[in-house]
């Protein structure tokens, strides 16, 4: 019996500028996989789990990426990309192309099988998301200093929670740390003032894509 070619459920692929992390502003090819195991209160990508996604062969996704200049990084995002087992051959195939590969993940699923060359941008979910209990704390020990972590903050209580989380983390995370406000509930200037007052060694992150394209709901 003929075995089926490996495939992934994909919400969309697109070429744009990176909107988050230290790669913000860099041209990037995005592969957004369908499905998410969380339901964050502020989610702006509900279509990744409210719509079924399209089954696309792994080879086709790799060929789409291969058509781009080798200097263009690829971000695998979601939803939660680690829900799909074929994300691992996808990451390995992109690395074999010699590409920088970014993985945006919500922090709830183990990073143990993610290839070391992949740059993880991992969320630590705060209480305002309603999903803080889903974080896998062992993931902090699986990151390296080239990875990055991100806290999305809805209010002052989230800020204090994230600040205390970092102060208590042992050993402290050695990579870049981003605090990103939910603009609808937390004015960025307030967050900036708190970071300065507390002398926190973190970066304030504003989502570049929502500044550039405030009315666009996907493909950015």
- CB 199 within 8 Å of CB 168: no
Q: Is 63 left (phi over 0), alpha (psi -120 to 50) or beta?
A: alpha
Q: Which is nearer to ligand SF4, 19 or 79 (CB)?
A: 79
* Residue among 43, 118, 121, 126 that touches ligand SF4 (CB under 6 A): 43
* Binding of ligand SF4 by 81 (CB under 6 A): no
Helix or strand holding residue 62 (H, E): helix 58-66
Using alpha carbons only, how large is the chain's radius of gyration in Å? 17
* Residue among 53, 78, 81, 128 that touches ligand SF4 (CB under 6 A): 78
What is the footprint of ligand SF4 within residues 83-112 (CB under 6 A)?
106
* Binding of ligand SF4 by 177 (CB under 6 A): no
SS3 15: strand
Q: How far is the CB of 172 from ligand SF4 (least distance, A)?
A: 24
* Binding of ligand SF4 by 39 (CB under 6 A): yes
Sheet holding 203-204, edge to edge: 54-57, 7-17, 27-33, 74-77, 101-105, 119-123, 148-153, 176-181, 203-204
* Binding of ligand SF4 by 38 (CB under 6 A): yes
* Residue among 45, 95, 202, 220 that touches ligand SF4 (CB under 6 A): 45
* Binding of ligand SF4 by 181 (CB under 6 A): no
- For residue 127, give both structure tokens: 């209480």
- Contact residues for ligand SF4 (CB under 6 A)? 36, 38-40, 43, 45, 48, 78-80, 106
């Amino acid at each position: 019996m003929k075995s089926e070619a490996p495939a992934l459920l994909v919400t969309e692929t697109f070429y744009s500028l990176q909107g988050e992390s230290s790669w913000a502003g860099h041209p990037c090819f995005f592969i957004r996989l369908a499905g998410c195991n969380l339901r964050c209160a502020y989610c702006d990508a509900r279509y990744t789990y409210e719509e079924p996604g399209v089954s696309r062969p792994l080879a086709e996704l790799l060929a789409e990426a291969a058509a781009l200049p080798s200097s263009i990084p690829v971000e695998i995002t979601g939803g939660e990309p680690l829900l799909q087992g074929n994300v691992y051959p996808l990451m390995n195939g992109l690395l074999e192309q010699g590409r920088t590969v970014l993985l945006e993940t919500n922090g709830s699923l183990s990073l143990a099988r993610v290839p070391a060359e992949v740059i993880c941008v991992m969320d630590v979910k705060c209480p305002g998301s309603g999903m803080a209990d889903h974080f896998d704390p062992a993931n902090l020990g699986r990151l390296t200093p080239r990875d990055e972590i991100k806290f999305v903050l809805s209010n002052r209580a989230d800020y204090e929670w994230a600040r205390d989380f970092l102060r208590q983390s042992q050993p402290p995370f050695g990579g870049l740390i981003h605090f990103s406000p939910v603009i609808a509930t937390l004015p960025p200037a307030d967050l900036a003032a708190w970071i300065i007052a507390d002398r926190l060694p973190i970066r304030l992150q504003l989502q570049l894509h929502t500044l550039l394209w405030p009315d666009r709901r996907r493909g950015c």
